[in-house]
Amino acid sequence: MQFTGDGQILEQKKRGVVNPYPPLYSFNFRGIPMNFFFLIPSSTIRTSTPKKIKSVIGGQKRVDVFSRIMLNLCRWKDRCDAKLVVVLYLSHPEENLTFTIPLDSISSPIENELEATEFMIHLLNSPDELGITIEKQDFSTLLSNLASDCNFFYLTSSGEDISQLDEDSMKSKNLCFILGSQMDLTHTQEKNLSKFNPTLISVGDREYLASHVVSIINHYLFTKFK
C-alpha cells in the first residue's frame, strides 16, 4: 500500500489542493458511510489544571498522549469515506466528562505535534469555542449511548489478533475501538464494558503507545477492505 509522501502533500496544499489524500477506501453500511469511534479514557487529565505548551509536551497529566493520538488520527481521516470520531472520556471522579470529537469538524489544521498540542489545550480550556459536544456522564452511560449503533472492539493483550476478524463483523455497524491511554481499562470499566459483549482484539504481543495502536488499527482496516 502506498500513500503520497508528506513533502508531496505540502506541495499540493500550497497549490490549493483541499484534500491531497483522495479517499482510497469505502466503508458503507446500507449505503451510509460508517463511523469509526476511538473511545479512550483518561484518569489523569483534569480540565481544572492550567495548561501551557511546555507543560503539556513535558507530560503534564499525560495530555501529550492525546495530542499524539489526535495527530495520528488526523493523518488518516481523509483516506476513506468513513468518519473518524475521537471520544475522550475523563474518568477522574471530579470530572466524568465525555468529549466527542468528529475529526471532520475540526477547522484548524493538525499536521504536527505542536498543532495537536495547541488543539488539546484549546479543547480542555475552551471546548465551547470549538463546537465540541461535552457530556457529564459515567462510563456505563457512555457505553450505553454508543452501543445503540456500534459494535465494540476492546484492545487488550488477551484479545484475538485483529487480522483474524472477518469482514461481516467489521462492516455490520459503526465500529467503536476502546483502548486505554496508557494501560488497559480499570477493573470496574472492564466490568461495565463486558455487559455489551465486546470483541476482544489485539495488535500483537508487543506493547505500543496508544497513538501507534490507532494507526495500526486504521492501517489494518484500510488494507483489509481496500
Look up residue 185 and give its amino acid: L
Output the pLDDT for position 182: 62
Lowest mean pLDDT: which of 47-51, 112-116, 123-127, 139-143?
47-51
CA distances from 108 to 20, 122, 187 (A): 16, 11, 37
Range with top average pLDDT, 30-34, 71-75, 184-188, 191-195? 191-195
Output the pLDDT for position 163: 82
SS3 6: helix
SS3 202: strand
Output the pLDDT for position 23: 47
CA distances from 157 to 69, 70, 86, 125 (A): 19, 23, 22, 34
Contact yes or no for 183/208 (Cβ under 8 A): no
Output the pLDDT for position 176: 94
Specify the residue for cell string 499525560: 62
pTM score: 0.81
* pLDDT, average across residues 151-160: 90
- At residue 7 the predicted structure's pLDDT band, cuts being 50, 70 and 90, is very low
Contacts of residue 44, defined as CB under 8 A and 6 or more positions apart, other chains included, come to 61, 62, 92
Output the pLDDT for position 71: 92
122 sits in which H/E element: helix 113-125
As assigned by CATH, the class of the 24-224 domain is alpha beta
Exposure of 156 in the CB half-sphere (CA atoms within 13 A): 16
